[in-house]
Structure 1
Amino acid sequence: MKGRLLVSLILFSCSLMAQSRVYLADVEVNGLKHTRFHVVMNELDFAIGDSLDLIGLAAVLERNEQRLLSTGLFNLADFNIKHWDADKGEIGLSLEVKEAWYIYPAPIFELADRSFNVWWKEMNCDLDRVNYGIRVDHLNLTGRKDKFKIKFQQGYTRKYELEYLFPYLKGTWGLGVVASFAENKELGYLTSDNKVLFKKRPDEATVLRRFRTGLTATKRNSAYAFHTLRAEYNYNSVNDIVVKDWNPNYFPEGKDYIQFLRLMYVFKYNRTLFPAYPEGGYAYAVEVIKDGVGFGNFSNFSTAAEMEWYAMPAKRFIVGAKVKAKWNWTRNQIPYSNYQALGYGADVIRGYELYVIDGTDFAWLKTSARFALFDNNISLGKLMPVHAFNVLPVKFFLKFTAETGYANDKWYTANNPLNNQWLLGYGPGLDLLLYNNFLLSAEYNFNHLGEGALYYKSKFNF
């Protein structure tokens, strides 16, 4: 927020004196070239016609600037008071934005393993475990914050994928579609010593094929509340050698395929400041998944809940905590292909990046303390030919994290010593956030086994 806004607020406060609230008469948005006006307004937690608290107005506008930046639609966002009428007690706001680059056509060169650290330390940087191809991501296809993704991939995993999400189909309702096909010549068929074991056929024929397609309906009740309902059909198959010789429990009942219809409901409420890399506020989410609706050979029912909280007790210093729990209501033995708990996606405990802990249920707690070493916008000028990237927002943090987690396993504990015990990981690290959406991390993490190692991570908020 520029200094002129603070000056305007001071003058405005003086002119109104006894008034504590003001009426928002209008909002003017400048700098929109592709994004629709209503998309911007939907991202704000106030609307034209609202009564706003004058004393807290500066904080409200700054919070909404951060919300706009974290959408990935804009590189710059700056509110100011356009006009005010002291007699009527009303104001008008102006918003200056600079749209981000929305189209990301890019060659694919990515690792097939769960993380760079697994590929580097466990797979000895094996280039055969690399995916290559081309993908195109458009974050704002028609200017309505609609996301389109298409992928053509070869290498370790041959994959073709198409996805489109239109968040404002009618009012606050949105609709999405997805279709994906993938196949592999190598399969992670079993977990032993909390490491995934991989195997190929001698003739290197395809051993795994996966297909999924689905529809997603979304509803946004406010700037903070999101509902998602998804119906998705899954059909995966393996070569018969997998269930005959490698792992008879890979799919249900020793079959060489798994087929089911999944219904999933997710509710998210997010009041964090700058959600892409939270600096304050809180959020929570609830997830309900039913696999095997109407037909198929797999049935399961699970629920999960997640909460997070952040605060800034001192300038540049941010503390946070995040907790998640998942419970599987189906207590029968689950096939190995669907028996994942800790070690995948966001459910990784620091210090255990090289391990997986399978189970029916799990819980974890993650805490962090971060200090901003650098936070500024860098003008690249003629060094950057793409206008949308001329200004580079950079944030650089020193951090310390401490995390704990537990996975409940009834079936495979004998060969996996980390199952059914509390894990503890901690360590220092550095975070570099570029363009408000690209996060690069370097961490030195320890675990309760006495192991310590350097880990590199990246995250793109598409």
Structure 2
Amino acid sequence: MTTPRRSLGAVLLLAGGLNLPALAQAPDSVYRIGTVEITGNRRTQPFIITRELDLQAGDTLHSRNLAARLERNRQRVFNTTLFVTVKLTPVRTAGQVNILIEVKENWYIWAGPVFKLADRNFNEWWNERDGDLRRTTYGGFLYHANFRGRKEKLRVGIQTGFSDRFQVSYEVPYIDQQRQTGINVLARYLVYKDLAFNTATDKLLYTGTQEIALKREWQGLVQVRRRRGFYDVHRLELGYTHGRIADTLVQLNAEYYQGGTRLQRYVELAYQFSHDTRDNVNYPWQGLVLTGGVRQRGVLPTDDVRILELRAGGGYYCPLAPRWSLGLVSSLRVSMARQQSFNQLRGLGYEEEFLRGFDLYVINGTAFGLAKSTLRFQLWKGIVPLRFIPVKQFNTLPLSIYPTVFADAGYVRNPYSGREIGSSLANQALASAGVGLDVVTLLNTTVRLNLSRNSAGENNFFVNLQKEFVLN
């Protein structure tokens, strides 16, 4: 539909930019929304976009808060991760305002080779494993991030090399007319030819063999997701894990599976709540995220595991000046059981839950607390045109550069430290501080270069790609 348009002051919102000169001259004006028009969504169904909006035809807009409201809606649409850019423009015509939403869609279908490091992060692989290319997995994958234009996600992957993996999952964000309830189904089969069987001096010990299958594991998961409003999400999941290990692994560590057994089977039930108002889920500048949950591993009387796990976490991001922002992140986990096998022990050093400056260490335990603080300066942010690339999803390169100053602190409680060899970091206060450089670019990838000093007296330079806070 084409409508005659007269600008309300060259209103433009693009990646956080805002210009409202005309409206500033009329702070008390009230406008009625005539239409909400969406352009650029060649594949995405309109309801996926309108689900994120708190404005519709017939609503009224006050000029005094128009900028903030449009930017809030732009951020919600952008956080679907379906679009490269999102613009919201109010256009006055015949005594009312039409809202024009212009989106530039991402590339949704990915298929190709897989090449990944088997170690926890690049630093461990480079410093502790001498960059050994045998410690990699390779294969192929198919991923559709917007199947049927409904934000449904289809993933199929096959990998071999250091370990074998086959995985398929399908996620439907909304299965009801109210667009509040979604479902995710996953099945995974894993074969490990080499894996960590214990720790020494808070570093993982590997078997060093790739000739036989040391561990086979089947996993299945069904998750129901309930999203109320815009910011609150409830997740309820039911999973099953069936693992079997070889005698070689039992001989190396009789507590890998508790009591020297070769079999571990259990059903798990989990609930998680999250409240997320971050302006950008991949690299937030302002907003709040809170999460909490409970997980019971071992539901049936015949299950081989019986662990109750409680989790809580949060992140607060506060702009201090036009180009400065402070980020505070915390995480807490407590697992309760009479005894825990080695494969169930998790502390700091895995995925996003690690202390900067301790990247080479895993500090296992039954409970941990973590706090991170980061002061960031926006040195440069913009979009670099790549006109020589004909595919529109790739002919613009978002690029942002942020120098940082950070300080982290944490503690891990490990009542089983006697099982390990020379553990020195558990059961004591840990801290680190340093400076870094964050580079945010295509597909919301963030490369972090950190120079740090930790409470163990070590000076380090590390590179990592982990996100600051992830909702599990």
Q: TM-score range by the shorter chain?
A: over 0.9
Q: 1:459 to 1:40 in 2, by over 3 A?
A: farther
Which of 202, 211, 216 is the aligned partner of 1:209? 216
Deviation sequence 1:117-160 (CA, Å, 0-9, x none): 00000011111101111112211111111111111101001111
1:144 is the counterpart of 2:150: yes
Q: Is the 8 A contact 1:394 1:436 kept in 2?
A: no
Partner residue in 2 for 1:108: 114
Partner residue in 2 for 1:222: 229
Partner residue in 2 for 1:135: 141
1:407 is the counterpart of 2:412: yes
Q: Is the 8 A contact 1:380 1:390 kept in 2?
A: yes
Partner residue in 2 for 1:368: 374
After superposition, residues 422-461 of structure 1 pair within 5 angstroms as: 422-435=429-442, 437-459=444-466
1:290 is the counterpart of 2:296: yes
**Cα separation, 2, equivalents of 1:18 and 1:419:** 59
Partner residue in 2 for 1:76: 85
**Cα separation, 1, equivalents of 2:37 and 2:443:** 24
- Report how many residues are paired: 452
Q: Runs of 4 or more off by more than 6 Å in structure 1? A: none
TM-score, normalised to structure 2, is 0.90
**Cα separation, 1, equivalents of 2:248 and 2:28:** 80
- The one-letter code sitting in structure 1 at the alignment partner of 2:425 is L
After superposition, residues 56-95 of structure 1 pair within 5 angstroms as: 56-83=65-92, 91-95=97-101
Structure 1 residue runs of 5 or longer lacking an equivalent are none
Q: Is the 8 A contact 2:289 2:316 kept in 1?
A: yes
1:347 is the counterpart of 2:356: no
1:390 is the counterpart of 2:395: yes
**Cα separation, 2, equivalents of 1:100 and 1:3:** 29
After superposition, residues 267-278 of structure 1 pair within 5 angstroms as: 267-278=273-284
Q: Is the 8 A contact 2:28 2:63 kept in 1?
A: no
Deviation sequence 1:153-188 (CA, Å, 0-9, x none): 010011110011110121211111101111111121
Deviation (angstroms), 1:78? 0.9
Further displaced range: 282-291 or 66-75:
66-75
Q: 1:59 to 1:232 in 2, by over 3 A?
A: same
Q: Is the 8 A contact 2:115 2:137 kept in 1?
A: yes
Deviation (angstroms), 1:57? 1.4
Partner residue in 2 for 1:194: 202
Further displaced range: 76-85 or 317-326:
76-85
Deviation (angstroms), 1:288? 1.2
**Cα separation, 2, equivalents of 1:11 and 1:260:** 63
Deviation sequence 1:68-106 (CA, Å, 0-9, x none): 3333211111111123665xxx53311111111111223
- What RMSD over aligned residues (CA atoms) do the two structures have, in Å? 2.2
Partner residue in 2 for 1:249: 255
Q: Is the partner of 1:120 in helix, strand or coil? A: helix
Q: Percent same amino acid at aligned positions?
A: 29
Further displaced range: 273-282 or 111-120:
273-282
Deviation sequence 1:239-263 (CA, Å, 0-9, x none): 02222x2111111332111111111
Q: Is the 8 A contact 1:326 1:362 kept in 2?
A: yes
After superposition, residues 32-71 of structure 1 pair within 5 angstroms as: 32-71=41-80
- The one-letter code sitting in structure 2 at the alignment partner of 1:33 is R
Q: Is the partner of 1:56 in helix, strand or coil? A: helix
**Cα separation, 2, equivalents of 1:318 and 1:83:** 35
**Cα separation, 2, equivalents of 1:336 and 1:371:** 41
Deviation (angstroms), 1:3? 7.2
**Cα separation, 1, equivalents of 2:86 and 2:181:** 26
Q: Is the partner of 1:140 in helix, strand or coil? A: strand
Q: Is the partner of 2:147 in helix, strand or coil? A: coil
